[in-house]
Amino acid sequence: MAAHLSEKEWVALIRAHPELASIPGRLRVDATDIRAAAADTLCHIGGRPKFMLFVIEGEIRLVRRARNGAEIVLQRAIAGFVAEGSLESLRYHCDIVAARDSRIVGFPIKDFREALHDDESFRTFWMARLAPEVRALRAQC
């Protein structure tokens, strides 16, 4: 189930997830409130990215399958952005699956890219939130 968010809903979301305050108003207008049941596949490997996803509640996983069919979890998100790599990709490199009932906000990816290009403060926010993730991944290696 998907719907657009009202201004009142945005106020509550920003209170619960302060980083959403950095989302430009024009992105908020076109954002979609997505509900997913446990085991729902939101996006399939090879599919064209349509949304930048922000997990409000629940759990979303990026998964691939091993040759023997076993699930390989590449990312697990219980809050915040997920599948950031899809922003500049023509195709998803994994499936995006709800591990439990979840609520996600989807920002149209084309509009997200344009906002990053046009809005310096949003671009700065985005780079600042990605940098610690890169450092954490390097530390894991």
Residue 28 pLDDT grade (very low, low, confident, very high; cuts 50, 70, 90): very high
What is the predicted pLDDT for the residue at 135?
Answer: 80
- 77 has a pLDDT exceeding 70: yes
What is the predicted pLDDT for the residue at 132?
Answer: 79
What is the predicted pLDDT for the residue at 60?
Answer: 97
- Mean pLDDT across the chain: 92
pTM, whole model, 2 decimals?
Answer: 0.91
Residue ranges with strand state E in the chain: 2-4, 32-36, 41-43, 51-65, 71-77, 80-82, 95-108
Closest CA to 59 of 26, 8, 96: 96
- 110 has a pLDDT exceeding 80: yes
What is the predicted pLDDT for the residue at 1?
Answer: 53
Please compute the mean of the pLDDT values over residues 76-82 and round it to a whole number.
Answer: 93
Please compute the mean of the pLDDT values over residues 16-45 and round it to a whole number.
Answer: 95
Q: Is 57 exposed, middle or buried (0-12, 13-18, 19+ CB in 10 A)?
A: middle
Give the 3-state secondary structure of residue 120. helix
Q: CA–CA separation, 79 vs 119, rounded Å?
A: 24
What is the predicted pLDDT for the residue at 85?
Answer: 87
Higher pLDDT, 38 or 140: 38
pLDDT tens for 122-132 read: 999 999 988 87
